[in-house]
Chain A
Amino acid sequence: MEQTSADITASDDIRPPVASIGVIGWVRANLFDGWFNSLLTLATLYALWVVVPPIVRWVIIDAVWNTTGAECRDAAGACWSIIATNFRFILFGFYPYDQQWRPLVAMLLLFGLLYYSQDRKHWTKMLGYGWVAGLVAMGLLMRGGLLGLSSVETTKWGGLPLTLLLSVFGLTAAYPLGVILALGRQSRLPIIKWLCVVYIELIRGVPLISLLFMGSIIFPLFLPEGITINKILRAQVAIILFTAAYIAEVVRGGLQGMSRGQYEAAESLGLNYYLTMRLIILPQALKIVIPPTVSILISAFKDTSLVVIIALWDLLKTSQAVLSNPEWMGFSREAYIFIAILYFLGCFSMSNYSRRLERELDRDRP
């Protein structure tokens, strides 16, 4: 940089030197700033040159899209035919083939509601009713047995609708439960406090898999004869209980970040405990913990795939079933990439939305 500053004459010293602005400036500052960074840049470029073209060739150029499994084996590239041919089984599992429009409509309804609910301006009472109506409609579509829809047992539910069912209900029920647990853990009433502490520590002390096993195998043993509880419901409850314990600890962190003054100001206005929490403390505390909360929700979303072990046919399980078909055996890369893309879309939109929410709620900073 010494030469450039020497070049500057008195007349143009108001403008920054050419070498520090524009494309050249950016390249200099970010890619070739010193011999070490230059070396790293060159090494990275070489690595990209080696890696990217073969990937593009495998994924797109040499790939086959709509063939039989046998033809796939001769192709040099990816065999996307496994997805194209088994698309409906992967997405809907054993749901009766000619009725699969029903889960499709249910999912579209869900996506529509989620999309509409993004905007905080739309959060009105009407939207609440909309969700209730939407959920009833989704349940009706999936379950059937009314309005001329044939009944479909929940044992036949599978694929993406099941994954979405477990995650949407799991996350929306776990969040408020987690907040309540966090408040309970701060309670001055010792019994409530200790119940919450014991619950949180117990649940956090065991893996989700063991909770799912307990729900699906041990829990039914304790039920009186003749009474059964739906397997999906049991898995759902296990996911909710598990996620809530983690959310509780994150929310507790947010509560501890609140200054004593906020409580005192609210109390000195005569607000009771419930109103102080609802109007003053939680809106601020929950905002602080949006990033860690979303991390938990994202990992809970992915953890729903663990229901595979109690033989629920979620998205992952239906793909595995396709892979066990001799015709498609060995194309696990393609199948798993497809599933990964679906999960990624879900997780990425959650994290995107959380960032947007943070931005919108950040207006109270000076």
Chain B
Amino acid sequence: MTEEQATETASPDIEDSIIEIINMHKWFGDFHVLNDINLKVGRKERIVICGPSGSGKSTLIRCINRLEQHQRGQIIVDGIELTNNIKNIEKIRAEVGMVFQHFNLFPHLTIVDNLALGPIWVRKTPRKEAEEIAMYYLEKVHIAEQAKKYPGQLSGGQQQRVAIARSLCMSPKVMLFDEPTSALDPEMIKEVLDVMIDLATEGMTMIVVTHEMGFAKSVAHRVLFMDFGQIVEGNTPTEFFDNPQHDRTKLFLSQILH
């Protein structure tokens, strides 16, 4: 996968935004973890968020499907504003896929049951059909032969691919990735990134929190740098890496690109 291939296949529609965050703030106790966030994500846009640990990048994407609650400002996902309305929250969560650092597969269910769960109980798909959907996405992440196993019997890389497939089974409109490769052994990072690149090629809207700068360069339309709860700067990967504007960005880049 080269830079051009990934970016050519699907150009984002910035005008028609699927996620809109306006003047959003969040505190953990007294700690101002997100400070005046403004962000528009277009359909089919791919955004990579990077920044030092504690900068609020995970919290930001967790706010998008309400795993964290924001305290000021607005978050609008696919035309629905996130409020305390639990029905709306569940509707949005069904449309927004989330991949966690620690996979969070359901250890008491087989792989195929992990995948079919969402379609069966949230989408009310008949079981047989749901299992077909599950097998389709397992093929897609190259792991169909493990369908009858339990998560504990799989390697970290395999588990994370299953977790991605589990989200895809819900046919989400957006996929959120919260440091999907940080908990993996180095030799397993590539298999997960390859699956994510495939997804990008197909035009999935993605927001990825990651330190994989190679992935950011080849896949992202926009790279955001966060520090102290703020989006410090955001730019195309080329501009971002070659010509960073802020000192904090420069410092960060110099630290991670040895």
A residues contacting B by CB (< 8 A) are 259, 261-262, 264-272, 275, 279-280, 283-284, 287, 361, 363-366
Contact = CB atoms under 8 A, between A and B. Distances in A.
Contact of A264 (B86, B96, B100): B100
Contacts, number: 69
Contact of A270 (B90, B104, B105, B108): B90
Interface SS majority for chain A:
helix
Contact of B93 (A259, A261, A269, A279): A269
- 4 closest A-B pairs (Cβ-Cβ)? A270-B94, A265-B104, A366-B152, A268-B98
Contacts of B97: 268
A283 B108 CA distance: 8
B152 A268 contact: no
Nearest to B65: A268
A267 B121 contact: no
A279 B102 CA distance: 20
28 contacts: A259-B104, A261-B100, A261-B104, A262-B104, A264-B98, A265-B98, A265-B100, A267-B67, A267-B93, A268-B65, A268-B167, A269-B94, A269-B166, A270-B90, A270-B91, A270-B93, A270-B170, A271-B90, A271-B122, A279-B117, A280-B106, A283-B108, A284-B106, A287-B108, A364-B109, A364-B150, A364-B151, A366-B153
A307 B151 CA distance: 48
Contacts of B117: 269, 271, 279
A356 to B, nearest CB: 17
Interface residues of B, number: 30
B106 A268 contact: no
B106 A264 contact: no
A266 B152 CA distance: 18
Given A269-B170, A279-B117, A364 B108 contact: yes
A265 B106 contact: yes
B93 A268 contact: yes
A324 to B, nearest CB: 53
A284 B166 CA distance: 19
Nearest to A365: B152
B229 interface: no
Contact of B122 (A262, A269, A280, A366): A269
Contacts of B94: 269-270
Contacts of B104: 259, 261-262, 264-265
Contact of A364 (B67, B152, B166): B152
B178 to A, nearest CB: 10
B51 interface: no
- The winner among B67, B91, B97, B105 for most chain A CB atoms within 10 A is B67
